[in-house]
Structure 1
Amino acid sequence: MKLSGLFGVFLLMCVDLRSFGMSHPKPSCRYPPSQWCRSLEIAIECKVQKQCMEVNATRPNQSVPPVSVTLYYESLCPACRVFITQQLFPTWTMLQDIMSVTLVPYGNAKELPSENSPFTCQHGEPECRGNMIEACVIHLTGHSAFQIINCMESSANVLNAAQPCLQLYAPSVSWSSVDSCLNGGLGNQLMHANAVMTRALNPEHTHVPWVTFNGEYTEENEDKAMSSLFHLVCQLYKGVKPPACNGAPVRLNRGFC
């Protein structure tokens, strides 16, 4: 996985240090660092029980709801890829305790009354396949889905990266299960559900990436999200701000498809 610029590298370094203290343990286990505190069993296997207990003790008040961020996007849209890899994933990496992310791969696609080709996409058939791969990944991998999709969107070839990214971040999920989703009826069902969600947007989306916060879209929040999503999530969170929110915002260029 490759995050753009020093900001991405800094965030990855920060999340490791934030989660496990100033010294970086090197346990021998089959899980990536992002999953070490996912369950007690994993923490024991990776020998990081103490560090995970410290992390859990400093989490924000769980009675305050997290900021709900929903991204409507397309797998091959350049502006979507930039937003995912340079804004959304780095922000989630640092602020996942106070935000939740929902990904809806569909965007400007169209649903057609055809059994053979039920969808058309803005960037052609490869994008339709990429959208469906990511919909299947989200359905099959749950907690690891965002890391897999960021890995794909960070790669030179989104579709070719799907299988190695899956193996890296969700080794217990076989590629054959994704393939079955793509070639069976499940993939089309998932894409239809995404189409319904996208068509239900109010106001109707006019471009992608299209981002809602706590189920609502405003141009003001879109402007803030495209320039500094990290700062906006900190601003919208109603609980005590985590220490990461005390940093200065990083402003990036915006773009749409």
Structure 2
Amino acid sequence: MMASLLSLLSWMGLWSSPLRVLNSDTPPINITVTPTQMVGMTSVFMDILVENFVTEDGRRVSYLALENSDIYSTNFLEMGALLKKVDPLQMDEAERKSFFINLYNLLTIHALVSMNRLPSSTLSVTDFWRRFAYQVGPYTLHLDDIEHGILRDNRPHPTTGTVFFGATDPRLALSVAADHRIHAALNCGALGCSPLTSYSPRQQLDQDLDDAMKRLCNTSVTLKNDNTLVINSIFKWFSSDFADSEALTLRFLADCVDDPQIKRSLLKAAQGTLSFTYHYDWTLNAVSGVGGRVKIEVYFESLCPDSVHFFTHQLYPTWLDLRDIMDLVFVPFGKARATPTGTGDYEFECQHGPDECYGNKVMSCAQESLPIHTQMEFFHCMMSKPYPASTGEQCSKTVRIEWAPIDECSKSSVGSSLLYKNGIRTSALKPRVYFIPTIVIDGHYNDNQLKNSLADLKSQICNAYQGPPHQGCF
């Protein structure tokens, strides 16, 4: 209810979310780049993201895979640090256009990955386009600043009428001549958006934008069986960017599309003799993991009978069949409570007593040092024993890993700190944890999904999997 109210107030211009400048805290970097080099770097970085984390058609992004990659933990930081050192006014207009197209798409991706949980839609995030920003040289620019202030030559926002740069705003100098083709290049994080690709200011920029516009036109109009048209809402919201009236925008579309039947239908719609509607798919353009891998988070306790049953009857058998399409994350903490001691350590109270706290610490320490496949074997070994919390040393021999470092960690403040972090992650889960184990699939869970995961995890993963056919899911 509160989120809906804030969204309404934001839409009315009566409230705005606190601005998050995603590169505000990036550490200094001892590299100097010219504005032209920065343009090239953002283009190359966009290329890397598209190649590694975007589906072949450019329409879906593996946000969760990106979150767990070195590219996110390192390259975004480096780019953010360099952005603060460059003056975009030193770029020529073609450089600025390609730079800010790429930067808009990078900022959208960065904003979504930076959130605690992926939303179902960017539209469901209050003030999304005015909440996230980059510092670029001396300028702070959020998504709406980039799209409407710079790339649309400071034209008013189509729904609120907001003009983002006032007459005395120094950012006004960043604006480039309005170009309707930018709507075929910007990606807002929704399935209705234009495909993601990289743009550069070389001679083919105009050709690339022409090609993108052609793609947008040919994927934006559907002729239904009842002979009515459904048109991408971009051509309604930004009609004035394409032509002087809605009828002329429909004629623009007719000139742009290739299908003869749709072309004729658009001309009839422009004449008022054929009905049409607008539609936009705001569903988040997310795909699971690399190549469709499904992210599974398991929130559990070392002495919880339900956790033991889930490990032995669901998780481990499913892992053996589907591990190549699973991004598995363990969160040992459960319904424990943590209290800072004031000395850099923590005291824990666990649902099944102190031994469970120790078992959770052992697993938290193992998480820090072992690859996921070894974690799985180690944890499965522990959870298969009559009293899992005390079987770490025995299972380390079974799995052939060193016990001493894990033992030392689990008995120190390091282990406490690692367990405390798992507690923070558990407490941040929404809806809040009410049952252990809790299984989160691709950042989401609800009552029905949890019940189904506890009974048949394999089916839940196969249903969420969006990659190529997998033999384990037949």
Is 1:66 aligned with 2:281? no
- Asked whether the equivalents of residues 75 and 105 of structure 1 are also in contact (C-alpha less than 8 Å), the reply is yes
Is 1:91 aligned with 2:318? yes
Secondary structure, counterpart of 1:159 in structure 2: helix
Q: Read off the aligned partner of 1:158 and give its amino acid letter.
A: P
Structural mapping, 1:101-250, within 5 Å: 101-114=328-341, 118-143=347-372, 144-169=374-399, 171=400, 173-246=401-474
Secondary structure, counterpart of 1:118 in structure 2: strand
Give the match for residue 80 of structure 1. 307
Secondary structure, counterpart of 1:68 in structure 2: strand
Secondary structure, counterpart of 1:96 in structure 2: helix
Structure-2 separation of matches of 1:63 and 1:132:
30
Deviation of 1:89 after TM superposition, in Å, equals: 1.2
Instruction: Report sequence identity in percent.
Output: 30
Structure-1 separation of matches of 2:352 and 2:304:
7
Deviation of 1:157 after TM superposition, in Å, equals: 2.1
Structure-2 separation of matches of 1:134 and 1:113:
20
Q: Read off the aligned partner of 2:300 and give its amino acid letter.
A: Y
Change in 2 beyond 3 A, CA 1:221/1:241: farther
Q: Read off the aligned partner of 1:88 and give its amino acid letter.
A: L
- Asked whether the equivalents of residues 346 and 413 of structure 2 are also in contact (C-alpha less than 8 Å), the reply is no
> More deviation in 78-87 or 177-186?
177-186
Q: Read off the aligned partner of 1:142 and give its amino acid letter.
A: P
Q: Read off the aligned partner of 2:409 and give its amino acid letter.
A: C
Secondary structure, counterpart of 1:81 in structure 2: helix
Alignment TM-score, normalising by the size of structure 2 = 0.37
Structure-1 separation of matches of 2:459 and 2:291:
18
Structure-2 separation of matches of 1:194 and 1:117:
13
Deviation of 1:219 after TM superposition, in Å, equals: 1.8
- Asked whether the equivalents of residues 335 and 351 of structure 2 are also in contact (C-alpha less than 8 Å), the reply is yes
The runs of 4+ residues in structure 1 deviating greater than 6 Å are none
- Asked whether the equivalents of residues 300 and 436 of structure 2 are also in contact (C-alpha less than 8 Å), the reply is yes
Deviation of 1:186 after TM superposition, in Å, equals: 1.1
What's the CA shift string for 1:120-163, capped at 9, x where partnerless?
00000010001101111121222301110000000112133211
Structure-2 separation of matches of 1:211 and 1:103:
10
What's the CA shift string for 1:206-246, capped at 9, x where partnerless?
12111111111122211211121111111110012311211
Structure-2 separation of matches of 1:228 and 1:160:
29
- Asked whether the equivalents of residues 234 and 241 of structure 1 are also in contact (C-alpha less than 8 Å), the reply is no
Q: Read off the aligned partner of 1:209 and give its amino acid letter.
A: P
Larger Rg: 2
Structure-2 separation of matches of 1:72 and 1:109:
11
Q: Read off the aligned partner of 1:94 and give its amino acid letter.
A: D
Q: Read off the aligned partner of 1:245 and give its amino acid letter.
A: C
> More deviation in 157-166 or 125-134?
157-166
Q: Read off the aligned partner of 1:70 and give its amino acid letter.
A: E
- Asked whether the equivalents of residues 298 and 331 of structure 2 are also in contact (C-alpha less than 8 Å), the reply is yes
What are structure 1's unaligned runs of at least 5 residues?
A: 1-61, 247-257
- Asked whether the equivalents of residues 299 and 334 of structure 2 are also in contact (C-alpha less than 8 Å), the reply is yes
Q: Read off the aligned partner of 1:120 and give its amino acid letter.
A: E
Q: Read off the aligned partner of 2:382 and give its amino acid letter.
A: M
Structure-2 separation of matches of 1:139 and 1:88:
20
Secondary structure, counterpart of 1:228 in structure 2: helix
Structure-2 separation of matches of 1:158 and 1:220:
29
Deviation of 1:65 after TM superposition, in Å, equals: 2.9
Deviation of 1:80 after TM superposition, in Å, equals: 0.6
Deviation of 1:117 after TM superposition, in Å, equals: 6.0
Q: Read off the aligned partner of 2:397 and give its amino acid letter.
A: Q
| Equivalent residues, number | 183
Secondary structure, counterpart of 1:230 in structure 2: helix
- Asked whether the equivalents of residues 295 and 441 of structure 2 are also in contact (C-alpha less than 8 Å), the reply is yes
Secondary structure, counterpart of 2:340 in structure 1: coil
Structure-2 separation of matches of 1:63 and 1:187:
31
Q: Read off the aligned partner of 1:227 and give its amino acid letter.
A: A
**Cα RMSD (Å) of the superposition?**
1.6
Alignment TM-score, normalising by the size of structure 1 = 0.68
Deviation of 1:105 after TM superposition, in Å, equals: 0.4
Structure-1 separation of matches of 2:438 and 2:389:
22
